[in-house]
Amino acid sequence: MQDFKSLLIWKKSFELNKKIYKITKHFPEEEIYGLTSQIRRSSISISSNIAEGCGRKTNKDFSNFLHNSFGSLKELECQILISESLNYISKEELEKIQTEISELTAMIIGLIKKITRTSNS
């Protein structure tokens, strides 16, 4: 068990949460219970699953939560692509978020591999 707040992967996902909230604040009002809500929930799920996984007793459990976090990250990626296609976010905002998503993707996959190797040793 480790303190999730000390993990770089959690810190990066937390920063992404804040950016997502700022960006979606400007979405059309009719999306408040639709795309805005979905994007925010996906984003929160990424950091929340990392945190919850840190609180689990086994590496296998932690790995399962990292897989959930990865799924939420891909869900977020799809939703921001939809947002850009609807002109809710600019191409520039999309590219910045996609860069962060790519970084987090690599970090999550790397941590899953590390945990799996440790568990198999």
* Whole-angstrom distance, CA of residue 62 vs CA of residue 82: 31
Please state the domain count of the chain.
1
State the pLDDT at residue 46: 98
Q: What is the pLDDT of residue 37?
A: 98
- pTM for the structure as a whole: 0.93
- The whole-number pLDDT of residue 118 equals 82
The CA distance from 87 to 91, in Å, is 9
pLDDT of residue 2: 79
CATH of the domain at 82: 1.20.1440.60
> Mean pLDDT, 10 residues at a time, over the chain (121 residues)?
90 98 97 98 98 93 97 98 98 98 98 87 63
Residue 100 is part of which domain span? 4-120
For residue 23 the two structure tokens come to: 């960006």
Q: Looking at residue 25, what is its pLDDT?
A: 97
The whole-number pLDDT of residue 16 equals 98
Per-residue model confidence (pLDDT) at position 121 = 63
Quote the CA–CA distance of 97 and 80 in Å, as a whole number.
Answer: 8
- Position 1 scores a pLDDT of 61
Coil vs helix vs strand at 42: helix
For residue 103, give every residue at least 6 positions away whose Cβ sits within 8 Å of its Cβ, in sequence order, or none.
12
Contacts for 11 with CB less than 8 Å, ≥ 6 apart: 5
